Amino acid sequence: MPAQPVDRNRLDHAYIQVADDVARRIRQREITIKLPAERALAEEYEVSYITVRRATAILRERGLIVSIHGRGTFIRARMS
């Protein structure tokens, strides 16, 4: 299932919607090893780059991903 578009009518912020949807895609194994580049995710979700940066920060706080400078952002551990 592709990315869920951000619903601008919802009360929660766009970055929370993006973080929740990327987490869903990780759980459903749509994203397996490495996340797409942040700019690619911004295009996919039709949001700003800064929105994706905030979403990935949330995912890092949740322990789902790890970013390695110069290499990319990777799934930290396989979720059950």
The enclosing domain of 50 has a CATH number of 1.10.10.10
Number of domains the chain is built from? 1
How far from each other are the two terminal CA atoms of the chain, in whole angstroms? Answer: 18
**13 contact partners, CB below 8 Å, separation of at least 6:** none
Q: Where does the pLDDT of residue 80 fall: very low under 50, low under 70, confident under 90, or very high at 90 and above?
A: very low
pTM here?
0.88
In a domain, 51, yes or no: yes
Structural domain boundaries, residue 30: 14-75
Which residues 6+ apart lie within 8 Å of 57 measured at CB? none
Is residue 3 assigned to a domain?
A: no
In a domain, 5, yes or no: no
3-state secondary structure of 33: coil
Q: What is the pLDDT of residues 26-72, one digit of tens each?
A: 999 999 999 999 999 999 999 999 999 999 999 999 999 999 999 99
Residue 47 inside a domain? The answer is yes
Q: Does an H or E element contain 66, and which?
A: strand 65-68
